[in-house]
Amino acid sequence: MSFIALLIFTICLIEIQFALTNCNNEVDKIFSLPGQPKLNFQQYAGYIVVDDQQQISLFYYFVEAELNPTPKPLVLWLNGGPGCSSVGAGAFIEHGPLKVSGNHLIKNEYSWNKEANMLYLESPAGVGFSFSTNSSFYDYVDDEMTARGNILFLEKWLNKFPEYRNNDFYLTGESYGGHYVPQLADYIIKSEMKINLKGIAIGNPLLEFNTDFNSRAEYFWSHGLISDATYKLLNTVCNISELRRQGQQGHLTPSCTHVFVQYSREIGKFINFYDVTLDVCLPSVQSQSAALNQFQDSSKIDVCIHDETFVYLNREDVRIALHARLVNVKQWSVFTSILHYNMQNLELPMLPILGSLVQSGVRVLIYSGDQDSVLPLTGTRVLIDKLAKELGLNTTVPYSCWFEGKQVAGWNQVYGNILSFVTVRGASHEVPYSQPERSLVLFRSFIGAKI
């Protein structure tokens, strides 16, 4: 074959490969979601098959950065649970470009895609729109299986969107994402995957079972939710980590039952544990309307957005636009009801993995909404300080307040310019949901290596 013929043949192969890649992207492109406003960026959604034997397909939703997306960072978001939807919670309730309002969508002015290309992954199969056609898969899932599926997803997704392979890459998440995110980052480093992993950020994470769960008692007491007597019971008779452990096993001892009944009675049924200062979504339209009229001047947070998102994502026209399917379930839910996760994995300590990541040069940001009683900042700050001491990291930014505009947005402390702990004032377990402006400032600072 002559040089010219070889050159033409090579060009043809490149054009065919480009066409196939472009075709793959076009198949997943979202041309418009029902009720959405006009957008100036592209959206994609679809499936990546990560296990042919188990027939596992993981669902993703990808939104390009608003302006000049190609050079901007790629950020993968993982909600927690285990079993919580990253699309329903992360994208449509927290920091995605669109939020549900009634039967239509409104633009989120504090979307994280103002700063980065955002990739939301439903993981593991059985969560959100992700599925396995082999229903026996749901009988047992654990952290290792989830991490393996996630890294296979990421590799295949980057083959589908190769223009983002060399971008700065960040892993983010919240809650049980305190397991998902460090484990996936660890897999990436050990696999020597060709990706520019720059940092991880996790909000209100589960890092160490006993410390995190036992910190709830102090948080309840300090916020006036329980009495002095009940606080004493939680510290001497049966602590919350033991309550959680026994609850997962399906049986409480008499002493723990007494403590559980006592603190549950005092807190009552109408407190949102994910934000103890936030109103709850009331059960009837009439009472919701009355509550909204009463509190409309004091709060801009839509406390019923979870219900609205549930209705929206269960519309057939919405599923068609998202290229989503319902497999082995009758409806989409923000939290899976079919997945049997190995709850013993909750007791796996994550500090050793975080330490390994720091030693590998990966920046680690741990942030806490200070109104969350589920995984309170009181436990998290102790753990991060402990990790810094174990790594021999000195404080490079002393504990001090940070600002959004002219208001204090929270407090932060940085160790060795690589490990950071940040609180977000007035924020819930889902920080971007209740403090969108402050979360965007924090996110911008994180990917800009300013914190």
SS3 335: strand
Residue 95 designated active-site: no
Q: Which of 143, 212, 275, 372 is catalytic?
A: 372
Evaluated on CA atoms 439, 444, 449, 451, the torsion sign reads: negative
CA distances from 405 to 34, 96, 109, 400, 401 (A): 34, 22, 16, 16, 13
Displacement of CA 191 from its chain's centroid (Å): 23
Please report how the helices 143-160 and 177-191 are oriented relative to each other, as an axis angle in degrees rounded to 10: 60
Q: Which of 373, 429, 434, 439 is catalytic?
A: 429
Q: Nearest-CA neighbor of 58 among 192, 157, 165, 194?
A: 157
| Residue 142 appears among annotated catalytic residues | no
Q: Beta strand 74-78 with 168-174: parallel, antiparallel or unpaired?
A: parallel
Q: Which of 82, 94, 175, 86 is nearest to 375 (CA)?
A: 175
215 is catalytic: no
List 85, 175, 333, 373, catalytic entry: 175
User: How far apart (Å, rounded) are the C-alpha atoms in residues 127 and 136?
Assistant: 15
SS (H, E, C) 27-74: HHEECCCCCCCCCCCCEEEEEEEEECCCCEEEEEEEECCCCCCCCCCE
Pick from 149, 148, 115: nearest CA to 132: 149
Task: Report the catalytic residues.
Answer: 175, 372, 429
